[in-house]
Amino acid sequence: MQDFHEYNHEANLKYIKVLIRKEVKDIEEAHRLFSHVLNAHAIWVARIHQKPMPFGVWQVHHPMKYAEIEMQNYEASKTLLDEKRLQGLIHYRNSKGMRFQNTVREVLTHIINHGTHHRGQIASILSFNEIKPPITDYIFLRRTVEA
């Protein structure tokens, strides 16, 4: 789980480097989706800790805030991995007020999959706008060269 958490963080940092560039500033849908990735991560961590939602689900952030929010999310998840039993249950309400329960492992897995899904959408948007998206496939970020 720790490795996937690190992968998610590395992939987000690669996208931040692209999304803060001047030629990307007017691609609103890419920023809306990336803000959503950051928001959802923070919201899930807040649910695990039974704290209020720190952001709206679709709240859009200024690109210069992305790195700060990502680091907060990364550190909060790192702490969760150190402190929480992954099989521990959390009880929460979704954004529509419905009650659910899941294990911490399921929530952390969802955060990673959710980010991968939306980064893929952002990659398509960037490509459509003739901007090369970062390569963030898991295996590309984990490959080592044999001597």
CATH number at residue 69: 1.20.120.450
Number of CB atoms found within 10 A of residue 90's CB: 17
* Structural domain total, the chain: 1
Overall residue count recorded for the chain in this entry: 147
Six-digit token string for 127: 């490509």
Range of the domain at 107: 2-142
Over range 21-32, report the average pLDDT.
95
- Statement: residue 147 has pLDDT above 80: no
What's the pLDDT at 58?
Answer: 96
Q: Region 42-62: what's the mean pLDDT? A: 95
Over residues 53-112, the pLDDT tens digits come to: 999 999 999 999 999 999 999 999 999 888 778 889 999 988 888 999 999 999 999 999
Structure pTM?
0.94
Residue 147 lies in a domain: no
Assess whether pLDDT exceeds 80 at residue 146.
Answer: no
* 121 located within any domain: yes
